[in-house]
Amino acid sequence: MRRVGSSTSRPAGTGGEVIDPPTLGEDDVAVRPVASALNHMDLSRTGKRCALLNGVPGPPSPCPTSPGADIAGVVDSVGVGVDGITAGDEVVVDPSTTVCPREAIATRGGDRWAHGPGDGPTVCPPEIVGEHRWGGHGELVVVPARNVVARPHGRSWAECAAYPTAWVTAWRMLRRARLAPGERVLVVGIGGGVSVAALAIARHLGAEVHITSRDLAKGERALALGAVAAHDSGAERWDVEADVVVESVGPATWDKSVAALRRGGRLAVCGGTSGRRWSSTCRSCSSASTRSSGRRWAAARSSPP
């Protein structure tokens, strides 16, 4: 098959090599992508990029690699153990998977990223399509059959491919933060996929949603989508006390996010687009009992994303 990605001999994004297709396991399906989105993660995981994201180099993916976490496509073939899915089915791929068999996931309440006791290692180590396994920026991608769902009628291929990573991340963050109807949510840095998804999902769950942004137009758009207040991200402190803060910006907003939590509030974290390392004086920690949760921190709480 042909794929676009990085190799040991070519700069990232200049691939196009013909390679062997990924191996199809008995519980797997092979999907031929029709649409595959470009994500922040693809930039950080494709080769040894050094200047794309604030000049902070990210860990390289195994080479050669094919990025692309968000995929909508047509089933090409299925493993011998797969029922209910056939070649020709139009599907959307859930990019979050694991090496654990289905039986092990079932014993942990369906949590594919279940943790061991306390802050111990994950029982089912996570994998992300396009990071730990071949992604959708190629002619074929192989995932467990449990990771595909039928493409919704009335949605374009591009719309379906734009959905999985951002919306599943936001849903998981709010789920792990135990968001309840009537609670107040602060979404930091509205405008990106995860933050917009968090606004929509929190509203759907009956929460009161506040947002922050430096961009007036983005703030106005968030208000039109149901946010009750928009705060200036650049302000010294945000005039809001939240039950849950959705944080994906990182160093630039961390202290203010912690300060915005009410006592007993929960901080849901999925990344840091303003940098990979940060520190905090935690002046607000004494008055706000916080819990960090989210896609990355839920999987490895001992280290930031």
CA–CA separation, 262 and 264 (whole Å)? 6
Q: What are phi and psi of 256, to 5 degrees?
A: -70, -35
Q: What pLDDT does residue 252 have?
A: 80
Q: CB of 260 within 8 A of CB of 283?
A: no
Indicate the CATH number for domain 167-299. Answer: 3.40.50.720
pLDDT of residue 98: 76
Kindly give the pairing relationship between strand 208-213 and strand 141-144. Answer: unpaired
Amino acid 96: pLDDT: 85
- Residue 57 pLDDT: 46
> Mean pLDDT for each 10-residue chunk of the chain (305 residues)?
47 54 90 91 58 43 74 97 96 86 57 46 71 86 94 94 90 94 97 94 98 96 98 94 92 89 92 65 47 36 29
Residue ranges of domains in the chain: 28-95+130-162, 167-299
DSSP class of 292: E
Tell me if the bond preceding 64 is cis, omega within 30° of 0.
yes
The residues pairing with 267 across neighbouring beta strands, listed in sequence order, are: 245, 292
φ/ψ of 97, rounded to 5, equals -140, -170
pLDDT at residue 279, as a whole number: 61
Q: What class has domain 28-95+130-162?
A: alpha beta
What number of CA atoms fall less than 13 Å from residue 240's CA on the CB side? 28
Phi (first) and psi of residue 100, to 5 degrees: -70, 140
Rg of the chain over Cα atoms, rounded to whole angstroms, equals 20
